[in-house]
Structure 1
């Protein structure tokens, strides 16, 4: 088995050092990305529903890039939503980032609260397989 390697993109050091989790863990050619929420590099909540979803996807994209991966390498997506009525908005944003075949597997889960504080509406967790 390959040795796990923490992936910590520039701007996410506080997540690793203060909150104590890796934005992603690379094991072999598989990348396990921790849930990404709609906060910016200053660890501040992004305002606006669509803007927050976009920020969560941009954070996912940043983590993938730090590991040498891209959105097209995502094979599994799990999303957590504080209001399932946002699914159509979420899917519209998602399709801007993940619109090529084959599409990843996807599970959407309703959740009471995300990110340890009120205001976050979505969290995106992913698994990617990097090219060999």
Structure 2
């Protein structure tokens, strides 16, 4: 088996190791990022929905940054929402703050009944940047 090329953001390694998953893995010039939620440093959910979505994006951006990427490198997004019928517009107004300009990535939005105490999760696939020639 090949060794996984795991990407860890600064300061949250213990949380990932405790829960036994990798925040992101580099493979075939792509970055596969695990679902990111609006968790505080201790792993607890940010209680207010819009703040939780912002924190999920901050956590996502920390993973992307650790892989020398930005949201501009994201090509595919999957979002999960508890009660999307009630929460979609509130969530999507915050998402636009982080989305950037067109062309936008592909997106799949999935309504769920449970996210381990969270209301929103975002999972992405990004294209890794080519190493710059020095």
- Normalised by the length of structure 1, the TM-score is 0.90
Structure 2, unmatched stretches of 5+, are none
Structure 1 residue aligned with 2:98: 97
Structure 1: segments with no counterpart, 5+ residues: none
- Deviation, 1:90, is 1.5
Cα shift at 1:28: 3.2
**Cα root mean square deviation, aligned:** 1.4
Q: Distance in 1 between matches of 2:76 and 2:47?
A: 27
How far does residue 99 in structure 1 lie from its aligned partner after superposition? Answer: 2.3
Contact 1:77 1:104 in 2 (8 A): yes
8 Å Cα contact 1:3/1:28 also seen in 2:
no
When normalised by structure 2's length, the TM-score is 0.89
Q: Secondary structure at the match of 1:39?
A: coil
Map 1:1-132 onto structure 2 (within 5 A). 4-84=4-84, 85-114=86-115, 116=116, 118=117, 120-132=118-130
Bigger-Rg structure (1/2): 2
Deviation at 1:12, TM superposition (A): 1.7
Give the match's secondary structure for 2:129: coil
What is the count of residue pairs matched by the alignment?
Answer: 128
Structure 1 moving runs of 4+ over 6 Å: none
